[in-house]
Structure 1
């Protein structure tokens, strides 16, 4: 079973959007998949250094 997903709307700087599109394409992922991956990685790092 796939994990549940929620649609969200965010506003990003244009230069950031373009860079993420490049990185996602290089990683053969969609823009959304890439952002999800990056955010998960960041949150995991924060949790590792700042436990709840």
Structure 2
């Protein structure tokens, strides 16, 4: 069984309208803000990595 990855606390500044939209989307996906950001970034990185490999 794989252990959960370690979490690191970070601080970033985002546009308020972006934060509002992320909160809305996170709520629709039944996730909190941090969980949703983590989910979206993992998905984006996976797609970017797959695209780079495929050409």
Instruction: Assess same fold via TM > 0.5.
Output: yes
Runs of 4+ in 1 over 4 A off after TM superposition: none
Alpha-carbon separation, structure 1, partners of 2:50 and 2:4: 25
Residue from 40, 44, 50 that aligns with 2:42: 40
What RMSD in Å do the two structures reach over aligned CA positions? 0.9
TM score, norm. by length of structure 1: 0.90
Superposed displacement of residue 2, structure 1: 2.2
Residue aligning to 2:52: 50
Residue aligning to 1:14: 16
Q: Would you say how many aligned residue pairs link Structure 1 and Structure 2?
A: 51
Unaligned runs of 5+ residues in structure 2 are none
